[in-house]
Structure 1
Amino acid sequence: MSENGFGDFEFERKFFVHDVPDVVAADPAPTLIVQAYLFAADGYAVRVRVQGTAPTEVDATPAELIDALGESAVGTMAAKGPAVGGTRYEAERALDGLVAGQIVRRAEHVVAKIRYSFWLDEDGWIIDRFLGANAPLVVAEVERSGPVVDLQIPSFCATEISEDERFKNEHLAYQPYSDWAEAYRRELALVGPQFVHTLGRNRISES
């Protein structure tokens, strides 16, 4: 049981971002994440991840990115359940970094991204800049120890994708963003920004 009393449940909201915002400069040491989805169906997934300090050169294959992390890489394995209302079951356990790296480099469905972390107001935010076949996707995410309600949403968040299955990492591993990016941007231009209104009062920042 975790300290927040919710065990292996995570509480987060995600947003589509047009371009990497300037605020990422607040993170002096972004993280490279390379992760493989060994199974994904109906909202359930099994993921193996290796991560570490992002190298300067990220225009590379997943295997080359893992090599760049070296022996300092940290490995994890996670089992996930379907997300409902910004809540998802996720049990994550540590793996030896070298073993995790060997698993990921042999996997077929892999996602690589650079993660920037920073604080805005009372919340910790991350920006994920996806690499490879999922470029140029940029996603913002906020996570709390309990339901993410009454959220101050930064102006760089174009629309909420918390409940859009297409943007889940396991979906991106099988259906990369580059395959449907143009169609999605047309869709967004047509329907406009959308935000979840069942989690308290949303406050949209003007700057």
Structure 2
Amino acid sequence: MSESGFGDFEFERKFFVREFPAVAASDPMPALIVQAYLFASDGYAVRVRIQGPAPVDLDAEPSALVEALGEESIGTMTAKGPAVGGTRYEAERELDPLVAAQIVQRSENVVAKVRYSAWLGEDGWIVDRFLGANAPLLLSEVERGGPVVDLAIPSFCVSEVSEDDRFRNEYLAHKPFGTWAEEYRRELDRIGPTFVDSLGQNQFEGS
């Protein structure tokens, strides 16, 4: 049971970011995350993740990046359920990092990204910069111990993708952003930004 009293559930909202924000660049200790999806179907997924301090060279293949994480890495296995209204079942358990690294290195459907963290207003935000076939994707997330309502949304958040399955990591592991990036940009230009309006009152920076 989590301290929030909601058990194995996560509450987050996710946004597409067009340009890398300066506030993310100020993070002195970004983390490298390499994760493999052992199963993914209809919103359900099983993920093994290895993460640690980001190395200087990020141009290597995922297997080499895993090796570069070193002794400070952390391993986890997570079972996820479908997301509904910014809420998703997520049960995470710690793994021996050596075991997690070996599983990730042997997996076909892998996502690698660098995670930057910043505190903005009342919320902690992350910006994920995806590597490899998912470059140049940038996504930002905010997570709370309960439903993410009445959110102050920073200006670098171009459009909300909390309910867009294409931006879930398990989807990106099978269909990397690089293969449909131009299609999405044309879609965004045609439709314009959208934001979930069923989670209280959105507040936009600068408005």
Structure 1 length as normaliser, TM-score? 0.99
Q: Could you say what secondary structure the match of 2:157 adopts? A: coil
Matched to 1:93, the amino acid is R
Contact 1:71–1:98 (CA under 8 A) maintained in structure 2: no
RMSD (Å), alpha carbons: 0.8
Aligned residues: percent identity? 70
Aligned-partner SS, 2:69: helix
For 2:151 and 2:185, locate their aligned partners in 1 and report how far apart those are by CA, in whole Å: 25
User: Could you tell me which residue of structure 2 aligns to residue 175 of structure 1?
Assistant: 175
Task: Specify the code of the residue in structure 1 equivalent to 2:95.
Answer: L
Task: Please name the residue that 2:105 is paired with.
Answer: 105
Partner of 1:57: 57
Aligned to 1:14: 14
Matched to 1:3, the amino acid is E
Structure 1, unmatched stretches of 5+, are none
Structure 1 stretches (4+) deviating beyond 3 angstroms? none
* Offset, 1:27: 1.2
Partners in 2 of 1:178 and 1:79 — Cα distance? Answer: 26
> Is the contact made by 1:126 and 1:141 (CA closer than 8 Å) also made in structure 2?
yes
- Alignment-mate amino acid for residue 125 of structure 1: W
Shift of 1:188: 0.1
Count of aligned pairs: 207
Following superposition, the deviation at residue 26 of structure 1 comes to 3.0
Report what 2:35 is aligned to. 35
Match of 1:114 in 2: 114
Aligned residue for 2:81?
A: 81
Q: C-alpha deviations, 1:141-198, integer Å up to 9, x for none?
A: 0000000000000000000000000000000000000000000000000000100000
1:25, distance to aligned residue in structure 2 (A): 2.8
1:96 aligns with 96
Q: Distance between the aligned counterparts of 2:175 and 2:94, measured in 1?
A: 27
